[in-house]
Amino acid sequence: MQDYFYTLSDRLMQTLEGNEHLLLGFSGEDSDFVRFNVNNVRQAGRVAQRYLSLDLIQGKRHAQASVTLAGDLQQDLWQLSMVVHNLRAQRPYLQDDPYLIYATEVNNTEQHHDRPVVDSAQAIEQIHQVAVGLDMVGIWANGTMYSGFANSFGQRNWHSTANFNYDWSCYHATDKAVKSSYAGFEWQAQTLTDKFQSVREQLTILAKPARTIEPGCYRVYLAPSALEDIVNTIAWGGFGLKSHRTKSTPLLEMIEQGRRLSPFVSITEDHARGLAPGFTSSGFIKPAQVQLIEQGRYADCLVSPRSAMEYGSVANADGEFPVALDIQAGDLRVADVLTELDTGLYINNLWYLNFSDRNHCQITGMTRFACFWVEQGEIKAPLNVMRFDDSVYELLGSKLLGLSREREFVFDAGTYGQRSHNSIQLPGALIGAMNFTL
C-alpha cells in the first residue's frame, strides 16, 4: 500500500507546471465488520477502501479535491490527472487564502504496525461463547488502517496500525442494559472473559427493583466510560488555540481568571501512542506529547497549522480536537472504589451531554445504562435515570477526591466514512458531591 501511494505521488508530481506545489494525503483501511444481535452474527463484511486528497497550490491560491482510488494504477493515474487538470482550471477563480500554510522543510517518517492483525474469526467465536445466554448487541471492527502524506518538496510520510474495537451492550429488559467495550492492538481472551464476568454481575443487580432518588447532591464514582463523556464535552472547543483566542472555549475562566482543576488532573495529548498518524495533512510533524493541563493548571493549546498562521504560533496538531488524550492515573484502587464511595452513586455511563453554561464550563446530561445506588460500600439497587447539572471546576476541581490507579484504554467506535483514529486512556473519578436536578 505504501509503495502504491508513493508511485502515485511520484507520477502526479511530474504533472506540475511552473511554481505549483502539490500536497497529497492518503487514507485507507482493510477492516472486518461484524454486527451482533441477541449474541448472533446478523451482518458480516469486509471493507477495503482508499482515498487520496489533493491540494494544488500556487502562491496563496489553492484548490482541493478528494478521490476514491480503485487500486488499478493506470485507472487511478488517469482519474487523478484529470482532477489535477480541473483543479488547475478552478484555481484562478479562487481568492487568496491568507492562512494557507504547509510544510516546506522535508521531514520523512515511517511508522508500521509491529503486531499481526487479530484473527477476526477466532475472536468472533470467543465472543459468541463467552456471551452465551445474554441478549448481547454490538459491533466488531478489526483490521489495518493506513495514512500517508507526500508533497512536491520531496517529503514522504507513512503510518499504519493494526487494531480491533469491540463495542457492545447486554440487555436485561427494556432500557435496562450494561455497556462495555474492549479495544487494543493484541487480543487477550482472558480480558474479554473478565469484562463479560463484570457485565453478568451488573446484569444480576439490574434485575432488582430500580430505585429513584430525590434531586440533590450525592457522592459519586464515575467509571472511566462516564468520565470520558465529560472530557469529550470539554474537548468540544476546550483545548484549541482558535477557541481560546476567540474566547469561545468552555475553559475561558482557566485562561483569563486563573481558575484551576484539582492538582490530581493532568491531561496530555499523546501523539506518540501510535493509533493516529504523527503528521498533519499539511506535512508538519506533531510533537510526541502536548501537555494540555498539568496538575490542574492550563498548560498549552492544540494548534492547527491554520491557527498557527493566523495567530503567530507553532502547529502541534492537525485539528484542534484531541485525538489521543491521556489522563494521568491516581492512587485509588478500583478494588477499593465501593468502600471509598461508601454511600452514593456508581455511574457507568452518561449521555445527552451539553453545556448548560458554556462560559462557566457548566455541563448537563443524563445517566445511562448500568448506574447503581451504593450504601456503606455495597451496591443495593439499580437507579432510574437522573439528570445532572454541574460545573467541571467542581467535578474535576474542588469536589474531586481521587482518580483510580487502573485506567481504561478506549478507542472511538465511530465508523463514519472510515474507522476513527481517536482514542483516550483515562481513570475513573471519585467525586465528593455531584448535583442532580431531576
| Whole-structure pTM value | 0.93
| Confidence tier at 334 by pLDDT (50, 70, 90) | very high
How many Å apart are CA 419 and CA 407, to the nearest integer? 23
How many Å apart are CA 139 and CA 409, to the nearest integer? 17
Query: Number of C-alpha atoms within 13 angstroms, CB side, residue 395?
Result: 24
For 179-218, write each residue's pLDDT tens digit.
999 999 999 999 999 999 999 999 999 999 999 999 999 9
| Confidence tier at 396 by pLDDT (50, 70, 90) | very high
DSSP string, 214-226: -SEEEEEEE-HHH
How many Å apart are CA 88 and CA 252, to the nearest integer? 43
**DSSP code of residue 397:** I
How many Å apart are CA 199 and CA 189, to the nearest integer? 15
For 78-121, write each residue's pLDDT tens digit.
999 999 999 999 999 999 999 999 999 999 999 998 889 999 99
Tell whether the model's pLDDT for residue 345 goes beyond 90.
Answer: yes
DSSP string, 94-122: SPP-TT-----S---EEE---SPPP-HHH
| Confidence tier at 411 by pLDDT (50, 70, 90) | very high
Confidence at residue 114, expressed as pLDDT on a 0 to 100 scale:
83
**CA–CA–CA angle 414, 420, 423 (5° rounding):** 95
Element (H, E) at 206: helix 189-206
For 136-171, write each residue's pLDDT tens digit.
999 999 999 999 999 999 999 999 999 999 999 999
How many Å apart are CA 373 and CA 219, to the nearest integer? 10
By the 8 A CB rule, do 136 and 170 touch?
yes
Confidence at residue 190, expressed as pLDDT on a 0 to 100 scale:
97
DSSP string, 343-365: SEEEEEEEEEEEEEEGGGTEEEE
Confidence at residue 438, expressed as pLDDT on a 0 to 100 scale:
87
Confidence at residue 274, expressed as pLDDT on a 0 to 100 scale:
78
Q: What crossing angle do the helices spanning 189-206 and 120-130 adopt, rounded to 10°?
A: 30
Tell me the domains of the chain and their CATH numbers. 2-205 (3.30.2290.10), 208-436 (no CATH)
Confidence at residue 217, expressed as pLDDT on a 0 to 100 scale:
97
Q: Can you give the C-alpha Rg of the chain in angstroms?
A: 24
| Confidence tier at 410 by pLDDT (50, 70, 90) | very high
For 243-287, write each residue's pLDDT tens digit.
999 999 999 999 999 999 999 999 999 999 878 999 999 999 999
Q: Is the dihedral of CA 67, 324, 348, 220 positive or negative?
A: negative
How many Å apart are CA 378 and CA 59, to the nearest integer? 67
For 286-316, write each residue's pLDDT tens digit.
999 999 999 999 999 999 999 999 999 999 9
